[in-house]
Structure 1
Amino acid sequence: MSQSLKGQLYEALKRSIANGYLEPGLVLLEGNISEIFGMSRSPVRQALQRLHENKFIFRFYGRGYMVGDFSVEPIRRNLTANDFRALDEYSKIERTDTWRGIADIIEHDVVLSSIKGRFELNELQLAKKYNVSRTITHPILLYLQSIGVVEKVKYSSWSIVPLDSERLRNLYEARRQLEPFMISRATLNMSEQEIKKFIEKLEKTAEKYPNVEGGTLDELESDLHNKTVRMGGNLEIFNMLKRTYPVLLISKHILGSTVALPDQDPFFHDHLEIFTRMLNKEGELASQALAAHLARSEAKVQERLSDFRDNGALNIPDYLR
């Protein structure tokens, strides 16, 4: 990234003002802009101060800054991303780097902690640890809430949902009821080209195994259990299945890091059979193959879960207690 966030934001606001997309009299508020670009208030505050010093915006009797000068009446409205998309300034700001940089770390810590038991997560302490605002941490926690990893307790406190053996059994039962149905429907909806692409990725990775990264395995799991299942065409069922994602996150954050990769491939053969059935338009057989795969997978994941709970090392982050 060639410029800091505050520098990028300064240039975006300056061009939008110069081109009239942010009209004279428009009131610019620090919090509003911070929410739009998904960044903390500090770079926003510094960008606004610089615009003020260079006389693009002015202080006035109200809160915030005003575009132009005192010859016009203040215009108070909430800005949205569309105010910047018109000049393509919204997409030019690399505003998600900080979010992406800590999202996987937080997910990793929270998922592994959930295997050990129930913890309380303090959002303010989380933001403090990574030196960011809640504008950055809050969407990460909302995502983890949507997949059943955390629950909201009160204003700035969340509770990690324990991932014990009973919960894992319940999650797998939900998957066995819903995923095979969606795969059968996806067989009719997916093109031959899409299925062949997934088969090719599996075969290439299988040739390299075990010299593969954990992220590659996670991507292959997503190809079947996320992207392909979504092609089943029933969004309500797909959204229900999001609550079973902790199952996939166990392997994502344990295999290849905390636990060594197994000698034999973890799932390639099963996935290839499912995709081959789909390629042949054998929806019912693909559904049965997925059901069998889930049954085998549950036994493996239960073993990993038990082993990590009893023997896995975990440094509890400061924001958990």
Structure 2
Amino acid sequence: MARPLKDQLYHVLHDAIDAGRLEPGLVLLEGHIAEHFGMSRSPVRQTLARLHEEGTICRFEGRGYQVGAQPGEIVRRSLGTGDFSASCIERTDAWRAFAESVERDVVLCSMKGRFELNELQLARALSVSRTLTHRILLYLQTIGVVEKVKYSSWTVVPLDDARLHDLYQARRQLEPYMMTRAADALEDAEIRRYIQRLDAAARDYPRVPSALLDALENDLHHQALMRGGNAEIMTMLGRTRPILLISKHLLGSSIELPSEAPFFDEHRHVFDKALARDGGAAGRALDEHLARSEAQVQARLAEFRDVGAIDVPDYLREVERP
């Protein structure tokens, strides 16, 4: 039987701090750790409290904790897999192991038309409990992919041209504002890491896996924007996630990668302005990027509707248009 998540997380964090992989002064935020390990905030909160009581981490004049017994020079950066040992946390939230494939099936179908999803049939298809299946569907609901209809039936939200445009409008209202704020909060080291990742991917392109493309999109459109410091706006932006899922599940698989890197230069331009501490320019650069991106994504969507093939799983049923 797996140990409680808080105990597993305690040992993972303690070992990383003891080995110096989480360096003195590094800021540890409850939300960031929960997101990195794919768990709720409760075990993270308990783990950080335990480490604080032991003097392994400390409070400082800011949000979260710092690594070390006493406050020191502040280090802010994203957590990566290299920060932790190979021993992983044995998760009780096994739904994540299935969520990726279900997300892909649902997103591809959403681009083709109207579909219903039967929760009971999904549980049978995955050979898992209804509890686990429901967890997957709640996740898909938070990112605007499905909506609950009745007891065991959900509807796949169609990703047509009109909805895609509405989602882009929402992003253009919210993301530039958050980028303007984030430009002042991001540490130079954070921004340089984002730029280095983009430059490395640009050198390797097109030999770039789709998972890396999705991670690079996440660097700008989630990780960096989070530093804008408005959790309510980030929750709203979560509903626009289907835009990124189009490229995540199409590029390199159903649709060939474009001859030139799709967004690297534009993301780099935003980060360059942030590094120069010009929040206004960073926000405008992001708005310009979103405006150009909409036309590109609309074209990908149209191409997939015309020539893309999908295997509709048994738990999804196409609904005729009224």
**Does TM, scored on the shorter chain, surpass 0.5?**
yes
User: In structure 2, what is the equivalent of residue 101 of structure 1?
Assistant: 97
Identity %, equivalent residues: 54
SS in 1 for 2:117: strand
Q: Report the 3-state secondary structure (helix = DSSP H, G, I; strand = E; otherwise coil) of the residue aligned with 1:152.
A: strand
- Whether 2:251 is the aligned partner of 1:277: answer no
1:313 equivalenced with 2:299 (yes/no): no
Whether 2:131 is the aligned partner of 1:135: answer: yes
Separation in 1, partners of 2:122, 2:308: 23
The structural deviation recorded for 1:99 is: 2.2
Kindly tell me the number of residue pairs found equivalent between the two proteins.
Answer: 242
Counterpart of 1:117?
A: 113
State which of 253, 260, 264 in structure 2 corresponds to 1:264: 260
Whole-angstrom CA distance in 2 between matches of 1:92 and 1:172: 37
TM-score if structure 2 supplies the norm length? Answer: 0.71
Q: Deviations over 1:39-74 (max 9, x none)?
A: xxxxxxxxxxxxxxxxxxxxxxxxxxxxxxxxxxxx
**Deviation readout 1:111-133 (Å, 9 max, x if unpaired):** 00001111110011001001101
Q: 1:298 — aligned with what?
A: 294
* Deviation per residue, 1:195-223 (Å, 9 max, x gap): 11101111111110000100000000000
Deviations 1:267-310 (A, max 9, x none): 00000000010000011111111111001100000001111112
How far the C-alpha of 1:81 sits from its partner, in A, is 7.5
Change (3 A) 1:287 1:94: closer
SS in 2 for 1:132: coil
In the alignment, the residues of structure 2 paired with residue 253 and residue 136 of structure 1 have an alpha-carbon distance, to the nearest angstrom, of: 23
2:206 maps to 1:179 = no
In the TM superposition, what are the counterparts of 1:219-298 in structure 2 within 5 Å? 219-298=215-294
Partner Cα separation in structure 2 for residue 181 and residue 152 of structure 1:
31
Q: 1:216 to 1:81 in 2, by over 3 A?
A: closer
Which of residues 194, 198, 201 is equivalent to 1:202?
Answer: 198
For residues 73-123 of structure 1, the C-alpha deviation after alignment (integer angstroms, 9 at most, x for no partner) is xxxxxxx979x99xxxxx964434x42321110000000000111111001
Query: How big is the shift at 1:140?
Result: 1.3
Q: Where does the alignment leave 5 or more consecutive residues of structure 2 unmatched?
A: 5-41, 48-87, 318-322
SS of 2:148's equivalent? Answer: strand
C-alpha distance in 1, partners of 2:160/2:135?
Answer: 26
Aligned residue number for residue 190 of structure 1: 186
Aligned partner letter, 2:176? P
Amino acid at match of 1:221: E
SS at structure 2 position matched to 1:120 = strand
Matched to 2:101, the amino acid is I
Instruction: Name the counterpart of 1:157.
Output: 153
Q: Is the 8 A contact 2:96 2:136 kept in 1?
A: no
Question: What CA distance in whole angstroms lies between the structure 1 residues aligned with 2:253 and 2:218?
Answer: 19
Say which SS state the counterpart of residue 254 (structure 2) adopts.
Answer: coil
Mapped partners of 2:91, 2:234: distance in 1: 30
Displacement of 1:158 in angstroms is 0.5
Shift of 1:313: 0.1
